[in-house]
Amino acid sequence: MVVAAGGVFGNVLQVSGIGSALSKTLDTLGVPLLLLGFIISLALRAAQGSATVAIVTTTGLLSAAVSGGGYSPAQIAVIVIAIGFGALGLSHVTDAGFWVVVRYYGLTVSDGLKTWTVLTTVLGLAGFALTFVAWILVGGLGA
């Protein structure tokens, strides 16, 4: 149901024109799509807790920009990976996984934020750094 809700939300954003409006606005900002996917996914994860919803919603938001961007299949795959790493970071009290870790290990909320949240964020950033290397390898800097 979570995946379906995220998919529906992404589709509503697309059908309503928000996706294409966002795409046009972002083009004027000059933020690379790879970084944009990571940041949007990270922000959605932090706001509502579900990595799945963050991924599905971000892909719905950026689908117009990706389809109109002339990206190769390899470049699209790397963009998707960047979105996934964005959804990995900032796991905190809005995330059910945070509570599983905190309760299983008997941590306080404060300790969970200092350990689990920091760990997931470092992993997301490290993953994005590796994704950027992959982006260079698939010729993404020329796009």
Amino acid present at 116: W
pLDDT at 59: 87
The single-letter code of the amino acid at 140 is G
**What gap in Å lies between CA 131 and CA 59, rounded to an integer?**
17
Per-residue pLDDT tens for 11-20?
Answer: 676 677 766 6
Residue 116, burial from CB neighbour count under 10 angstroms (0-12, 13-18, 19+): buried
Domain extent listing, the chain: 2-142
pLDDT digits (tens, 9 = 90+) for 36-94: 999 989 988 888 888 888 898 888 888 888 888 889 999 999 999 999 999 999 988 88
Chain centroid to Cα 114, Å, comes to 22
Q: What is the pLDDT of residue 84?
A: 95
Q: Is the pLDDT assigned to residue 1 strictly greater than 70?
A: no
Q: CB of 6 within 8 A of CB of 57?
A: yes
